[in-house]
Structure 1
Amino acid sequence: MPKLALHWQIAIAILLAVIVGLASGADASIGGVKLVAIYAFVGTLFLNALKMLIVPLVTSSIISGMAGVGGDRLESLGGKTLLFYACSSLIAILIGLTVVNIIAPGSGDTQALAASLSGDDPELQATLSKVEGRSAADIVQVFERMIPTNIVDAAANGEMLGMIFFSLLFGFFLARNDSPQAKTLLNFWQGTMDVMTSITMWVMKFAPIGVFGLIAKTVATTGFDAFTPMLKFFIATSLALLIHAFVAMPLILRFIGRVHPQKHYQAMAPALLTAFSTASSSATLPLTMECVQDRAGVSKSTSGFVLPLGATVNMDGTALYECVAAMFIAQVYGLDLSIGQQFTVVMVALLTSIGVAGIPAASLVAISVILGTIGLPLEGIGLLLVTDRILDMMRTAVNVFSDSCAAVVIARLEGEDTAIARN
């Protein structure tokens, strides 16, 4: 009997989790133990296992990738990567801006929505405490942390940008050292990457169970009733994300990468479903790299350079969400933004999607920066809390898909004959 493909296992787990989560709710228990706690325990174990792989996998992949790229390709590869990420994020933001202007989810009965922004709400107060005092200066601080004073401390605290910068430097100079010791060191990092890839594949055998726990917990605690007042906003954001993922990116794959979009979707299915379930680009990175290398056929040198960088700075879904959310809050408050103000929203969303990624509550911090720029109160963030978890899952999947598209397109531009181009 043929084994069911991983992405189908994960899809079935998501469907079962939705059914079980709705049936159990937040209060059901077995033997005095709440089912939600069991869901959370299973999901957290899986998430922790993925996060455990990030530092050694990213470090070994970048160092091996840089050493494999060499000086001749580095400038070309780096320039194409940064250009792709900037353009794809800008396209995503413009799609979000267009959709939110057409649907206008914050128009209509805005008094009811505005009245729901109670300053006494504990959840809102907790959220505001995270973003209060944040400004565009935080973007600069994030880039300052790109050069860490202690690389071990940066890795321990999950400061990916600093770890990536160090790994790029290490790989760059390792490639230029011809000593026997350097060759031994290169073999060590390549061996480490191979072992980490094997561990990743082993962890992914438990993905359906972990995904079930993560989704069941989310559905059991949030349900769907709370979405009704925010339905227009949810639809507008979801539609914009879908347009970017199923229209804009496939066009780029087809006409720039010269690959069949459907084959790329099939190759990336396990990573996309895992990204949706975990709502973490970084946690999904090990599986993203495995899918891009083994299923899409991109070389380890290219994917090892492009993907870790993308998981840190390329946030198409997040940038799109920031733009739609800021425009929605402006509409709720009855503020008709001029073309100039909307352009400001676009530019700030583009910058914050790159720079604020290393800050806790990153999307909310970025939105608070945008709100401050156009003169709206931070309490408007309270409107976003109801739908934030589900939309976070959706925008994370879009982030990961964009990273994978970048790896495939750049590989093709670099002359690689990827598997999905050959098939």
Structure 2
Amino acid sequence: MSIMKLKLHWQILLGLAFGVLLGLLTGEEAALFGVSFHAVFSFIGALFLNALKMLVVPLIVSSIIIGIAGIGQSDALGRLGLKTLGYYVMTSFLAVVVGLSVVNLIQPGVVEGNAAEIFGLEADSGALTERFADKDSGDIVEIFLRMIPTNVVEAASAGQMLGLIFFSLLYGFFLTRIETPYREAQFNFFNGMFQIMIQITDLVMKFAPIGVFALVAKTVASTGLEAFIPMAKFFFTVVLALSLHFFVTLPLLLRFLGGVSPLRHYRAVSAAQLTAFSTASSSATLPITMECVEKNAGVSNRTSSFVLPLGATVNMDGTALYECVVVLFIAQAYGIEMGLATQLVVVLLALTTSIGVAGIPAASLVAIAIILSAVGLPLEGIGLVLAVDRLLDMMRTTVNITSDSCGAVIIAKSEGEQGILEEQ
């Protein structure tokens, strides 16, 4: 069978596997005709990421506006909004509970000997302290201030999705309240934009296996496998916690709240999951997530266009879980025992900061700095997790977008939609 005839998720999986293999073989130094393989991987990966990010703003704006305009009545919008918010708060809280339970059980930061020497704590402590010194709990207020941008064009160019989503929600809501000729013209314009963005997404997705290959090869060539050895226990703790949420919590919600087959759903969104793993960006993966949820899972555009763009910005299950595990791990490495009250503060801060964390690689490091400052831990502790952060970022992003897609299915079922995740 030709590779091109394989389903997209298998093509992406093959690209991922070849990326790991070639990344290990080439490293950062190997070159051909004076050009390093690492530079080639970086160039191709950047092209693919740029193509995905190019779609994000027009896709979010058009999909939310036509989705809200399609819902129309304020009571229907309010009902859908409450369901979406309730789902996101619930899953993030469950993820944090799973993370706290696992890190308290395994205690990866408790080691024999000098923890600073074992983990190489002093490596980047000065640079990190300077970099994150201005981050404190007061930054949480900024998360909510960003909801109302002073300049929506500037917010879009700066990647401030929360403000863009808020503006699009208002625009779509009031589009339904203007006179008929203007309403139809506006709706047709944004509906046309949305259809065009879907077509461009289909084009970009044809190159997804190549983009995934390049991104993974670049990461593996840069880090290798040696960086994970001293952090193996912490790495295992995070992976176990993410796996429990991914393979247990979310499937149970799909089965009992949505009444659908978790296996069928995971198969439907597998292309989005693999893309999220390779890009480590919820925002960049959004076009693929929407395509999978609508085409493969059968969720209406009315629901997906509201739930998924919002989820890519505010629903960060994997990120909230990771933040809690990292903060407790750092406390353990410093020999600090956190009581229940302090852990509850960490939970609250993780839930709050995960809402405003940008859907881009490594953005959670800033949120972790805020939490560390709030509970009085040294900011240099972030240096402990840098060696393995990139790979874990890829994993937690996969959990993030999977939770978003589960939410779209569960909410669509609660709205009485038919034909969701039925056998093709």
Deviations 1:305-335 (A, max 9, x none): 0111110111000000000001111111111
**Partner of residue 287, structure 2:** 286
SS at match of 1:158: coil
CA contact under 8 A between 1:130 and 1:361: conserved in structure 2?
no
Give the CA RMSD over aligned residues.
1.6
**Who is 1:170 aligned against?**
171
Q: Provide, for residues 196-248 of structure 1, a one-character-per-residue CA deviation record: whole Å limited to 9, x for no partner.
A: 00110110000000011000000001001111110000000000001001100
Assess, with a 3 A threshold, how the Cα gap between structure 1 residues 422 and 67 changes in structure 2: closer, same or farther: farther
Counterpart pick for 1:27 among 1, 26, 29: 29
**Contact 2:71/2:77 (8 A) holds in 1:** yes
1:134 alignment partner, SS class: coil
User: What letter is aligned with 2:67?
Assistant: G
In 2, distance between residues paired with 1:353 and 1:165? 17
For the residue of structure 1 that corresponds to 2:377, the secondary structure is coil
Q: Following the alignment from structure 2 to structure 1, what is the Cα–Cα distance between the partners of residues 384 and 132? A: 15
Q: For residue 385 of structure 1, report the CA deviation from its aligned partner.
A: 0.4
- Alignment partner, residue 108 of structure 1: 111
- State how far apart, in whole Å, the 2-side matches of 1:155 and 1:389 are: 26
Q: Residues 360, 224 of structure 1: CA spacing in aligned structure 2 closer, same or farther, 3 A cutoff? A: closer
Q: Does 1:82 align with 2:82?
A: no
Q: Which amino acid aligns with 1:95?
A: V
- Give the structure 2 partner of residue 48 of structure 1: 50
Counterpart amino acid of 1:46? Answer: F
Deviation at 1:360, TM superposition (A): 8.7
Partner of 1:366: 367
Say how many residue pairs are matched: 421
Equivalent residue letter for 1:28:
A
Partner of 1:10: 12
The answer to whether the 8 A contact 1:260-1:421 is kept is no
2:96 equivalent among 93, 107, 114: 93
Contact 1:292 1:303 in 2 (8 A): yes
Which secondary structure does the structure 2 equivalent of 1:238 belong to?
A: helix
- Alpha-carbon distance between aligned partners in 2 of 1:386 and 1:378, rounded to the nearest angstrom: 16
Q: 1:270 Cα deviation (Å)?
A: 0.3
- Provide the residue aligned with 1:296 in structure 2: 297
Distance 2:360 2:282 in 1: 14
Q: CA deviation at 1:415?
A: 0.9
Post-superposition shift, 1:188?
1.0
User: Distance between the aligned counterparts of 1:8 and 1:358, measured in 2?
Assistant: 25
Q: CA deviation at 1:374?
A: 2.3
Which residue in the other structure is 1:153 paired with? 154
The amino acid across from 1:106 in the alignment is G
Distance 2:131 2:196 in 1: 38
The answer as to whether partners of 1:160 and 1:312 remain within 8 angstroms in 2 is yes
Percent identity between matched residues is 57
1:231-270 alignment, distance < 5 Å = 231-270=232-271
Aligned to 2:346: 345
The amino acid across from 1:307 in the alignment is L
Q: Structure 2: how far apart are the matches of 1:224 and 1:167?
A: 44
Aligned counterparts of 2:301 and 2:333: Cα–Cα separation in 1: 47
Rounded to whole Å, the distance in 2 between the matches of 1:343 and 1:99 is 15
Task: Tell me the CA shift for residue 355 of structure 1.
Answer: 2.7
Letter aligned with residue 79 of structure 1: L
Measured in 1, the distance between the counterparts of 2:140 and 2:334 equals 27
The whole-number CA distance in structure 2 between the counterparts of 1:124 and 1:297 is 49
Q: Which moved more, 1:1-10 or 1:239-248?
A: 1-10
For residue 323 of structure 1, what is the amino acid of its counterpart? C
Q: CA deviation at 1:366?
A: 1.5
Moved over 3 A (4+): 112-119, 123-130, 356-361
Q: Unpaired segments of 5 or more residues in structure 1?
A: none
Please list the CA deviations of residues 28-86 of structure 1 after superposition, one character each: whole Å capped at 9, or x if unmatched.
Answer: 00111111000000100000000000011110000000001112310100000001000
The normalised TM-score by structure 1 is 0.96
Secondary structure of 1:341's match? helix
Distance 1:117 1:20, change over 3 A: closer
Q: State the one-letter code of the partner of 1:83.
A: G
The CA deviation string for residues 374-421 of structure 1, in whole angstroms up to 9 with x for no partner, is 221111111000100000000000000011011110111111114305
TM-aligned CA deviation for residue 17 of structure 1: 0.7
Superposed counterparts of 1:57-68, under 5 Å: 57-68=59-70
For 1:144 and 1:4, how far apart are their aligned partners in 2? 46
Q: Is the 8 A contact 1:325 1:384 kept in 2?
A: yes
DSSP-derived class of the 1:187 partner: helix
* 1:349-373 Cα distance to aligned partner (Å, 9 max, x none): 1111113437995311211222222
Tell me if structure 2 keeps the 8 A contact 1:258–1:421: no
Which string of whole-angstrom CA distances, capped at 9 and with x for unpartnered residues, describes residues 228-275 of structure 1? Answer: 110000000000001001100000000001110001001000000000
- CA separation of 1:29/1:124 partners in 2, compared to 1, >3 Å: closer, same or farther? farther
**Unaligned segments of structure 2, at least 5 residues:** none
Give the CA deviation at 1:345. Answer: 1.3
Distance 1:31 1:325, change over 3 A: same
Deviation at 1:108, TM superposition (A): 2.4
Cα distance in 2 for partners of 1:114, 1:76 equals: 54
| SS state at 1:148 partner | coil
In structure 2, the partner of 1:206 is: 207
SS in 2 for 1:229: coil
SS in 2 for 1:364: helix
Structure 1 residue identity aligned to 2:405: S
- Does the aligned pair in 2 maintain the 1:315–1:399 contact within 8 Å? yes
Q: Does 1:186 align with 2:191?
A: no
Question: Which amino acid in the other structure matches residue 27 of structure 1?
Answer: E
